[in-house]
Structure 1
Amino acid sequence: MTTPENARTLPAWAREVELSLPLHPQILLSGNVRDLYPLVTAGDDEVDLVDLPEMVWTVVSRRGYAAMLVLNPVTARVDVRSADKPPEWTAPLLSTVYDTPAAISGLLVQVVQNREAPVALALPYTARLAPAEGLLEPADRALLTRAEVLGHQATPTRGAGAAGTMAPFNTIVWACERQEELHALFPIGSPMLRVIPVPRPTLDVRATAAQFLFKDSSSDQRKARAHAIGEVTHDMTVRDVIACGKLARDRGLPADRYADAARLLQVGITDDPWSATRLREKIKKAEDYLNARVLGQERAVRKAVDILVRSAVGLNGAHTSSSPNRPRGVLFLAGPTGVGKTELAKAIASLVLGGDAEPHRFDMSEFRADEAHQRLIGAPPGYVGYAAGGELTNLVRANPVSVLLFDEIDKAHPRIFDLFLQILEDGRLTDGRGATVYFTECFLIFTSNLGVSEAKAPDGGPAPAAVTPTVSYHTQPAQVERMLRDAFTHFFNQTLGRPELRNRFGDSYVVLDYIRPHVAPRILTKAVESVAARVSRVHDLRLDVRPDVETKLGDIMLERLEDGGRAIGTLVETVVVNPLSRWIFDQAPAPGSVVTLTSIAGSDGDWRVEVN
């Protein structure tokens, strides 16, 4: 037995369509218009899923419409829906080909001028009727002009409508995913056009739709399984929810593993790399590994390991009821230059991804311009570079499991931070072409030296501001952390005016201290050992450094600690590597020889070594 249409519960946007029928001759549906929508039969909780034209027909048929015509862009003809036989006057319309703007204009006129029982005309691909950018052809311009004029000329029909209701118009129903896809001449601002957004499904809608998958189960079991699927499909469409359920059923996944099917649909990976035994075993030893890579930053390493552990067990963001699709991990590394921020990011990438993996690095000082965000997500339609997509979205789409390093994030243009707000909150980003990219399996690392120095306006006029240090390696570690954290808070609260973004970082803010005198010798030894290893590998020579040479290097090093560990590496390169390279080039020692550095002498720009 056919279920009466008025016995079915409509989505909120469809109820708004129903209320608009006697008030607006034209309706524009925008947003999630390519989805499926649940229709629930009152009394027995039976769920059916219908597409947009079928949902619109369900609505208009409840209001007594005799038929609904749907322009099919594949066949260039109109399909018809009606409860009984379609009105006779529509017969010629069904045999006509509508492959030109003029033909579609004629169709609009005939529908609007119908004076019998009301009918509706749906155009599901409105944005394809006329190009959104550039000059319109005369026929396209005439189509959009006629559409607007017909809206103003429309009058309610004299034919039969639903009993006891206002007489409806012959309704034109336009549909597009994004309003910006429509040409500027489309009558979006016309008072005769009602714009109704079709939202992405909420948890309740997703859970209701998922019941369609379990028709043969008991009511309680059906609702429990459907709710489990709804929970793990945050921000997905109903089509994706159904695909997720079918995938889970096909693989025999229990309810507690529906997230695996959702992950496959979102990011294209079948297994959870963060729960792999290999990674878990490595994280157990992560503190020793990271401390060996980043010297003298034990506190920062301990905090980084806490976040890695939280990521591995899937509890990042567990304290909040918001989006479960947040990135796997977020780390904000602050501190002076040369203290190991970038090296810690590299070590985490190697730990998570294995081998010699590197983080995907974005130097945010390159994103200072207002339009720089387009480099990350791609240019909008009609702009240069639209087809290429965005650097960030393309990268994550191709590498859904990634460690992303955003270096010197405070140097980026303020508009860039709007993108990060969306990534940190929802774990997704929409590129310039409208495609969604998920960051669910990504580990995000931000670096900054906010608070290390501040700009001071000079006394003598509009010259460039001078940069004055606010902390140094003479400052006590606790004071360094307090001052840098205050600068971090001031930047997001006052400078950017985005305290909500600061809150998204939560406890992931970690301060790396200056390289202290007791740590510096270990960094120096590591640098010298690296030089010896390279000399052995490239030239088959054994490098031996005398203790007095190491002592002198240490003395020079202590004078340069203000610039951090990178300055120690530069010191070794300048004082040891450069003169040693000249000696090897000139003397060409035989492979297998022992090269002993007996002394170093000179000054910046003219260092010499004595070799035995």
Structure 2
Amino acid sequence: MADDTARNGPFLPGFPAFAVEVAGTLAVHSQYVLHGNIRDHFLVSPEGASPEIPPLLPLLWKALHPCGFEAFITYDAVDGIGVHPPKDPAALKAVECVLGPRAVGRRPGQKRLLAHLAKAVGVPEQPPEDSEAARSEQSASPAAPSGFARPANRVAFVIDYAARLTRVPGQLDQGERDFFLFCQKLAYSAQSFSVPGPRRSELHNPVIWLVEGERDLPAWFTAGVEPIRTVAVGVPTLDDRLRMARLLVPAFPPASTEDTHGRVDPAMEFANRTDGLSLESMMRIARLARDRGYGVDRIADATRVYKLGVDDNPWRRTSVRTQIIKGQQEISGQVMGQDRAVAKTLDILKRAALGMSGAQASTPGSRPRGVLFFAGPTGVGKTELAKQVAKILFGDPHAYLRFDMSEFSAEHAADRLIGAPPGYVGFEAGGELTGAIRRKPFQVVLFDEIEKAAPLVLDKFLQILEDGRLTDGQGETTYFSECVLIFTSNLGIIVTDPQTKIRTQIVRPPIDYKDLEKKVKGAIRDHFTNVLGRPELLNRFGDNIVVFDFISEVTATRIFSTQLDNIVARTYSELGVRLEITAEAAGQLCAACTAELDNGGRGIGNMLEANLVNTLSRVLFDKDAQPGDRVTVTGLRTGDHGPVLDAQVVRGGAA
């Protein structure tokens, strides 16, 4: 049985798959590039033994030591040559047998490092140091080895922070290119061998490169080079996180309440809430919970603080609940004629405030607190309702982040949201969206006219809606789990000709709300499913699509009156002039401003500006109105150059 294990490679129950892959392929590969989650800890739970959580290097040692490895030679640009296991006399002796008695602790130059690599893997035989061949070798460029020596020691050479060996992987200088070319030829030249001992397998002494990204080394170095095996070190799976959580949860302080009725398994909750995080992060969250005194009933708080760095959670404030209750009365006065849309929006906000978004799912996940898709005619209150949502949640109608998707219609526009990739212009600036959310995690984000966004931008939205996070161009993860995302669209109301880009309104009032809702939702479904080919994005919006109605004549009159009052108030606050409008003049203005309702409340405002604000400004300017004056508007008529206001200015407000 032992002989079978020696011949076929070690069987490593309870080890991560990448460690098993390395240990099991040493007979055919002389070099490995390990990339990805290499700075993490890893759960090792062999049968019949207590679980351990070593970092990468000790984990690789546990996997390769049974194969007869006596030591690891380690190297990085800061610490130079090292040995693993540290402070192990047998390991130090093995390394000194390979590299000499004074190599450990030194930071060799490039040529010397190449010689160390060659000696470690067994090629080539080195000439005596004082020979003419040695002197000529030191002055020459690295070349392919020509002779082979069978090492007496089983060692691996581990190069950490390998990406820092070059300035730019795709733009190597002469020395960097020669270095990697030598290492590539070394991979082809190295031979497997056996050493005396119980396991006489023909294995390589491997060179193991550790990098964060798969492309951190020159692409040609590994592409199509069979002796060099690229191995991904993945983030922990749900099973990994669950096993880790079961080890960590007992270390949490006790729950603040003994009532555990209906609560999920704390370990399962911990595992679900740390999706995408490393095991190292889970250990840090557990330490943070102990430091803050968070019991097992506050795993969600500990995870949120670790991710966002924010202890205060606005969603738990009593003021949010109070504001939502007040909003039911106040919003209708700000967003007129949209009672159905307001009611549905408030329902979604109540769900978000209670943390019940996605409650039907088996796992809590990290999706945004709330998602709203406002659809319908232009100028009917979609943006205004978004402002009111910000006011309800954070006390300020301007406390929201707005992106006009017409500015993100090009394919490269996604870089504006998350930042340019390394090496591209603007990389250092970061992303507009990711940077803003990291600075202010609790926020309302408005994406206006979503149908105009480029497909690559929509892919980013898919990640946010599904996972609640986004990785920017600098590799930083931004979490959207505490945000409310609002998307707006005119789909179903306006169509754009693909050739001329002319926008045409295809639905006009009067139309029954149920028919309008059916048309709009049908157009949205067709756009995401057939036009964009992204039904999965539509599925993430779910039932959060809120359809706005056309404004009625009654609503239009209310909007007109509100905006007229705003003009009167602004005239007094800015100029100190009292503005009075007779009933007849107000009727004429109302008729002119509400004649066409296709553009909604915004259209009414535009007409008021043309018929009253502009003409009033002309009167005030030409007659040099002063603070304390009174202006009485008695009528509106059409002149040769547009609307003309019949108005009288009384100095000092006297009769």
User: TM-score, normalised on structure 1?
Assistant: 0.92
Q: Tell me if structure 2 keeps the 8 A contact 1:267–1:400.
A: yes
Cα separation, 2, equivalents of 1:515 and 1:17: 67
Cα separation, 1, equivalents of 2:75 and 2:382: 58
- Indicate yes or no: 2:147 matched with 1:139: no
Report the equivalent of 1:54: 58
Cα 1:569–1:217, aligned 2, differ >3 Å: closer, same or farther?
A: closer
Matches within 5 A, 1:55-74: 55-74=59-78
Aligned partner letter, 2:348: I
Report the equivalent of 1:237: 278
Q: Which runs of 5+ in 1 are unaligned?
A: 458-462
Cα separation, 1, equivalents of 2:251 and 2:289: 16
- Indicate yes or no: 2:41 matched with 1:36: yes
Report the equivalent of 1:474: 510
- Indicate yes or no: 2:103 matched with 1:94: yes
Cα 1:499–1:216, aligned 2, differ >3 Å: closer, same or farther?
A: closer
Cα 1:532–1:215, aligned 2, differ >3 Å: closer, same or farther?
A: closer
Report the equivalent of 2:145: none
Report the equivalent of 1:460: none
Task: Note the alpha carbon deviations across 1:535-556, whole angstroms, 9 max, x for none.
Answer: 1211223322211122112222
Q: Tell me if structure 1 keeps the 8 A contact 2:525–2:538.
A: yes
Task: Note the alpha carbon deviations across 1:253-305, whole angstroms, 9 max, x for none.
Answer: 11111111111111121122112111111112222222121111111111111
Report the equivalent of 1:545: 581
Cα 1:160–1:267, aligned 2, differ >3 Å: closer, same or farther?
A: farther
Report the equivalent of 1:378: 419
Q: Tell me if structure 1 keeps the 8 A contact 2:99–2:119.
A: no
Cα 1:385–1:445, aligned 2, differ >3 Å: closer, same or farther?
A: same
Which of these residues, 10, 14, 27, is aligned with residue 15 of structure 2? Answer: 10
Q: Tell me if structure 1 keeps the 8 A contact 2:266–2:297.
A: no
Aligned partner letter, 1:393: T
Aligned partner letter, 2:120: V
Q: Tell me if structure 2 keeps the 8 A contact 1:341–1:512.
A: yes
SS in 1 for 2:605: helix
The percent of aligned pairs where both chains have the same amino acid is 37
- How big is the shift at 1:436? 0.7
Q: Tell me if structure 1 keeps the 8 A contact 2:520–2:547.
A: yes
Cα separation, 1, equivalents of 2:458 and 2:160: 35
Report the equivalent of 2:461: 420
SS in 1 for 2:45: strand
Aligned partner letter, 2:34: L
Q: Which runs of 5+ in 2 are unaligned?
A: 1-9, 123-149, 254-259, 649-655
Task: Note the alpha carbon deviations across 1:20-61, whole angstroms, 9 max, x for none.
Answer: 2223211221111111112235335x3332111111111111
Cα 1:38–1:244, aligned 2, differ >3 Å: closer, same or farther?
A: same
More deviation, 71-80/56-65: 71-80
Cα separation, 2, equivalents of 1:131 and 1:116: 36
Aligned partner letter, 2:71: A
- Indicate yes or no: 2:235 matched with 1:200: yes
Larger radius of gyration: 2
Cα 1:279–1:466, aligned 2, differ >3 Å: closer, same or farther?
A: closer
Q: Tell me if structure 2 keeps the 8 A contact 1:338–1:567.
A: yes
Cα 1:58–1:161, aligned 2, differ >3 Å: closer, same or farther?
A: farther
Cα separation, 1, equivalents of 2:151 and 2:314: 63
Report the equivalent of 1:107: 116
Cα 1:322–1:409, aligned 2, differ >3 Å: closer, same or farther?
A: farther
- How big is the shift at 1:108? 1.8
Matches within 5 A, 1:219-258: 226-258=267-299
Cα separation, 2, equivalents of 1:233 and 1:473: 49
Cα separation, 2, equivalents of 1:215 and 1:568: 63
Which of these residues, 174, 187, 191, is aligned with residue 151 of structure 1? Answer: 187
SS in 2 for 1:518: helix
Cα separation, 2, equivalents of 1:216 and 1:299: 49
Which of these residues, 379, 387, 390, is aligned with residue 338 of structure 1? Answer: 379
Q: Tell me if structure 1 keeps the 8 A contact 2:30–2:190.
A: yes
More deviation, 113-122/136-145: 113-122
More deviation, 267-276/565-574: 267-276
- How big is the shift at 1:455? 4.0
Report the equivalent of 1:567: 603
C-alpha RMSD of matched pairs (Å): 2.5
Q: Tell me if structure 2 keeps the 8 A contact 1:370–1:415.
A: yes
Q: Tell me if structure 1 keeps the 8 A contact 2:584–2:635.
A: yes
User: TM-score, normalised on structure 2?
Assistant: 0.86
